[in-house]
Amino acid sequence: MRRFTVPAAIIFIATVFAAPVDAQGTADRLGQAGWQAIDRGDADGAASAFREALAMRPRDAGLNMGAGFAAHLQGRDQDATSFLQKALQAEPALTRASTLLGEIAYRGGNLDLAIKTYEAALKYAPGEAALRSRLDAWKNEASAYRSFESVKDDRFAVMFEGPAEQRLASRATAVLGNAFWQIGKLIGSYPSNSINVILYTEKQFRDITGAPEWAGGGFDGQIRMPVKGALQNLPEFDRILTHELTHAMLRSVASRNLPAWLNEGLAMYFEGYDAAGVERALARYRLFVPLSALRNSFGRLNERQAAVAYAESFFATSVLIDRVGAAGIGQLLQDLDGGQPIDQAVQRFGFTLAEFESTLAGRVGVRLQANRQ
């Protein structure tokens, strides 16, 4: 055995024990940087920081939770689920991880996992009223589905209740199948994930979704539609179903940075609205809303505000399609999903968002202030 002198032994001990201590500190610093990036909305920076930290401490609960939050912000919910589950395996009392995991599971159509996640979370945080309220709502929803039947094919699963809705469910699979290929051709992608559709009574729809009265359907990871009077107005049923399918497919293609005006505009485009007619209506009343005001969900708007928001969204999207073409829309969606904001992404086509907005306003007879950004 080799004999060390005292100085050599000290150097050896420092070498052996200093590296883990340094790695520990580096992982901590990277974790802190990751959470700071999340606070800034920098999903890519956060994901990078947590990835480096996990290479040093792969079983760390806090780092896995952070990686789950970052993946969710990036639109990678499958990866987010994996990270969050690892975090909870290491530390079951991480309520933040449970909260996000439950919501991701619910929006992905896995109601059983959502319920089990919140039940487990409440064992460690029994005073979390928001968790308990959400869990109660999910259990009520699960109870309602016990009497539901389903029609399935390779891509869609349509849930319904009762013989009257069975006709609609069969029609829905045909409508969805045809619309899928039309939508995919324009957006440049044909998502392979299964899509769930749930047909409700009017009361079930309002109670479960909390949607505004003017909403004819919704998509929150699953397509949800009330079917009151649908058999008497099948074209309207088809249009709404196509609208919500567009949202479902767009979520798979551009899961982040997609502004509401483009999301809703594309959905209306596939419904078959008359672009020229909508433009004339906006021009008649000289209506124009800044696109910056149409970036987020329209769910909190009243019926009149929503009508204007949807009309302008369709108008803007139609002009954009005319300007950049189908291939351009597909590329734009890829850039958005890659992390570029809409302001940056449109510049590849030779114009800025401000210039595009000015063009839209001019076409409906509205003059923007010179200092509008």
- pLDDT higher than threshold 50 for residue 213: yes
Rounded Cα distance between 291 and 18, Å, is 55
pLDDT band at 294 (very low <50, low <70, confident <90, very high): very high
Q: How many helices (H) and strands (E) does the chain have?
A: 15, 5
Per-residue pLDDT, 136:
97
pLDDT band at 56 (very low <50, low <70, confident <90, very high): very high
CA distances from 219 to 81, 158, 186 (A): 20, 14, 20
Here the tokens at position 258 are 């997609």
- pLDDT higher than threshold 60 for residue 1: no
Task: Name the strand (E) or helix (H) holding 195.
Answer: strand 195-200
Predicted model pTM: 0.89
Which residues on adjacent β-strands are paired with residue 150?
159
Which residues on adjacent β-strands are paired with residue 219?
223
Q: Across the chain, what does the average pLDDT equal?
A: 92
Q: What's the angle, vertex CA 262, arms to CA 78 and CA 364, rounded to 5?
A: 170
Per-residue pLDDT, 325:
95
Per-residue pLDDT, 367:
86
Query: Among residues 371, 325, 328, which one has the least CA distance to residue 347?
Result: 328
Rounded Cα distance between 76 and 66, Å, is 13
Rounded Cα distance between 192 and 351, Å, is 33
Q: In what order do the strands lie in the sheet with 195-200?
A: 149-152, 156-160, 195-200, 223-226, 218-219
**In terms of C-beta density within 10 A (0-12 exposed, 13-18 middle, 19 or more buried), how is residue 258 classed?**
buried
Here the tokens at position 8 are 């050599």
Give the three-state DSSP class for 229. coil
What is the radius of gyration, based on Cα positions, of the chain?
A: 25
Per-residue pLDDT, 7:
53
CATH classification of 149-251 is 3.40.30.160, yes or no? yes
Q: Where are the domains of the chain?
A: 6-145, 149-251, 254-373
Domain 6-145, CATH homologous superfamily name and number: Tetratricopeptide repeat domain (1.25.40.10)
Percent of the chain with pLDDT over 70: 93
Query: Among residues 250, 252, 277, which one has the least CA distance to residue 265?
Result: 250
**Does residue 171 contact residue 237 with C-beta atoms inside 8 Å?**
yes
Per-residue pLDDT, 301:
95
**Does residue 227 contact residue 280 with C-beta atoms inside 8 Å?**
no
Per-residue pLDDT, 229:
87
- pLDDT higher than threshold 70 for residue 2: no
